[in-house]
Structure 1
Amino acid sequence: MKIASLQLKVYREKEKNLEQLAEWMKCEKLQDVDMVTLPEMFTCPYQTELFPLYAEKEGGPSCRFFSDLAKKYGIYLSAGTIPEVDENGRIYNTAYVYDRTGNQIAKHRKMHLFDIDIQDGQTFRESDTLSAGDEVTVFDTEFCRMGICICYDLRFPELAGLMAQEGAKVLLVPAAFNMTTGPAHWELLFRQRAVDNQFYTIGTAPARDMGAEYHSWGHTIAVDPWGTVVHVCGEAEQIQITEINLELVDKIRRELPLLRHRRGDVYEVRKR
């Protein structure tokens, strides 16, 4: 299986982001891939006050665009994330996945909201405008079962562990770590989750734009189930193609059977 991760710049105009994606899809490097993955908040600048302005209902214009693109190229498309508004006006940071025929096969609402205040670093409060999702998301392809989570979700090992227990062999993570947390934890977290759960981790980030209000770390990454970094980008726009070896996943899980050795019967905080 070949996965192409597109580290693209995010423009202020929603339509320009969709137009640039259509142009990148014409690239010869993408003609024989099975899946394309996009960054977090791909159609919207990463600013909390803009999320409600850019939000669309499920099945809206951006979703139809993604569906048509997946069908046109006969690929699986993990369409990064976009702001989603539900029937009650709640806003979510939502990832959609489409199959080769353009059907939506997965939807994940970011479960853990990025509310942080780092001294001499980044301050950010997604909860000012976003609501939190509450579902673990896995989906099936003709190759294997995959899981998907969003950026800050990756910091919580319980979530990745549940996806592995549900059979995921690849974890997709549209994400936009910043210039404080990125250098410190980006590679570390993707390697940790890969080793913990013995699956591939694919992190797709926006390209860095120092003219924007939010500065993405970039460094779109792929890590194999042994914890080895297979590919990592820099900060500029780039395509990263990863060949997934599912036999390696099976081999590592067979020889070092962490999932089978889990002690779910004792992993709880007990009252004393």
Structure 2
Amino acid sequence: MTFKAAAVQMCSGIDPASNAEAMAKLVREAAAQGATYIQTPEMTGAVQRDRAGLRSVLRDEAGDLVVRDAASLAAELGIYLHVGSTPIDLADGKIANRGFLFGPDGEKICDYDKIHMFDVDLENGESWRESALYRPGATARLADLPLGKLGFAICYDVRFPELFRQQAVAGAEIMSVPAAFTRQTGEAHWEILLRARAIENGLFIIAAAQAGEHEDGRETFGHSMIVDPWGKVLAQAGPVGEAIVIAEIDVAAVHGARARIPNLRNARSFVLDEVASAGKGGVAA
């Protein structure tokens, strides 16, 4: 199966209505270029550092503007539209960092809540505690589509290869990695991680990213990217501003790559044996 996939790069602000409008414009442009699967970045609906400000615009899934507009766009354009993620208000006071996949009929195929929380202190003084606001997901998703088998990850999930490996073993041919990578971590690791996940699992990676200086003062790395199963970057955007990257996806390339390097089939279980030292100058028994 061959199809055109698009990763839509955005610079979302704090107002969901403005972000939904920007999403619609870019999605329509990507569809006009022939894309039948279109992915938007993490936090499409709101990039908002201020907690009170974010809570003031939150809605549950049924009332969320981006979710509603994405369903309508998918039906209008006859495409698979994947909202990389948007913040969703939960009944327990927490927020879900939730992605949505809509089919060409506008119906929701599935959703995915980001599993791994970005709780880190960076060298430039930035400190992030996603777990203070967000409830982590506990379920991986694999959607069996006419286009191919699509697996789900969001941003920080890319640093956890076991999530990708389990989905690859279950048959994933494409992995989605919508993101809002910080500029500092993106410069160091973004491309390396995406290409590594593609190579080690023999699958396509589609990664739509947030890019540039945001209204809330955050700076994200951009460089939305599509990578093939051999690790070749098929398309890549720049570091700032809106963009659309499109590439032809031929899922036969997945099976070709896995036949050339059959590491999924050759994997073996093993036991980790920790050897204790007798200490300085001593002899182990």
Q: Give 3-state SS (helix, strand or coil) of 2:189's partner.
A: helix
Deviation at 1:203, TM superposition (A): 1.1
Which of residues 244, 264, 269 is equivalent to 2:249?
Answer: 244
- 1:256 alignment partner in structure 2: 261
Deviation at 1:88, TM superposition (A): 2.6
Deviation at 1:46, TM superposition (A): 4.1
Contact 1:122 1:180 in 2 (8 A): no
CA–CA distance in 2 between the matches of 1:125 and 1:61?
24
Which of residues 232, 253, 256 is equivalent to 1:228?
Answer: 232
- 2:44 alignment partner in structure 1: 42
Aligned length: 270
CA–CA distance in 1 between the matches of 2:164 and 2:172?
9
CA–CA distance in 1 between the matches of 2:195 and 2:125?
24
Q: What TM-score, normalized by structure 2, do the two folds share?
A: 0.89
* Structure 1 residue 114 corresponds to structure 2 residue 110: no
Deviation at 1:85, TM superposition (A): 2.2
The residue type equivalent to 2:128 in the other structure is: F
- 1:101 alignment partner in structure 2: 105
Contact 1:48 1:126 in 2 (8 A): no
Change (3 A) 1:157 1:182: same
Query: Which string of whole-angstrom CA distances, capped at 9 and with x for unpartnered residues, describes residues 151-185 of structure 1?
Result: 00110000011110111100011101111101000
The residue type equivalent to 1:178 in the other structure is: T
Root-mean-square deviation over aligned CA pairs: 1.9
CA–CA distance in 2 between the matches of 1:56 and 1:133?
18
The residue type equivalent to 1:262 in the other structure is: A
- 1:58 alignment partner in structure 2: 61
Q: Give 3-state SS (helix, strand or coil) of 1:6's partner.
A: strand
CA–CA distance in 1 between the matches of 2:206 and 2:186?
15
- Unaligned runs of 5+ residues in structure 1 are none
Q: Give 3-state SS (helix, strand or coil) of 1:239's partner.
A: strand
Q: Percent of aligned pairs with the same residue?
A: 33
CA–CA distance in 1 between the matches of 2:178 and 2:87?
13
Which one has a bigger Cα radius of gyration? 2
* Structure 1 residue 184 corresponds to structure 2 residue 188: yes
Which of residues 130, 133, 154 is equivalent to 1:150?
Answer: 154
Deviation at 1:120, TM superposition (A): 2.6
Query: Which string of whole-angstrom CA distances, capped at 9 and with x for unpartnered residues, describes residues 86-125 of structure 1?
Result: 3333211111111111111121111110011022343111
The residue type equivalent to 2:44 in the other structure is: F
Q: Give 3-state SS (helix, strand or coil) of 1:180's partner.
A: helix
CA–CA distance in 1 between the matches of 2:64 and 2:125?
36
Deviation at 1:256, TM superposition (A): 1.5
Change (3 A) 1:140 1:60: farther
Deviation at 1:202, TM superposition (A): 1.1
- 1:16 alignment partner in structure 2: 18
Q: Give 3-state SS (helix, strand or coil) of 2:76's partner.
A: helix
Query: Which string of whole-angstrom CA distances, capped at 9 and with x for unpartnered residues, describes residues 1-30 of structure 1?
Result: 111111122122110111122223342763
Contact 1:147 1:170 in 2 (8 A): yes
Q: Give 3-state SS (helix, strand or coil) of 1:216's partner.
A: strand
CA–CA distance in 1 between the matches of 2:255 and 2:137?
31
Show the 5 A alignment for 1:130-149: 130-149=134-153
Q: Give 3-state SS (helix, strand or coil) of 2:177's partner.
A: strand
Q: Larger deviation: 113-122 or 218-227?
A: 113-122
* Structure 1 residue 167 corresponds to structure 2 residue 171: yes
Change (3 A) 1:185 1:179: same
Q: Larger deviation: 37-46 or 60-69?
A: 60-69
Change (3 A) 1:248 1:123: same
The residue type equivalent to 1:240 in the other structure is: V
Q: What TM-score, normalized by structure 1, do the two folds share?
A: 0.93
CA–CA distance in 2 between the matches of 1:48 and 1:107?
25
The residue type equivalent to 1:22 in the other structure is: A
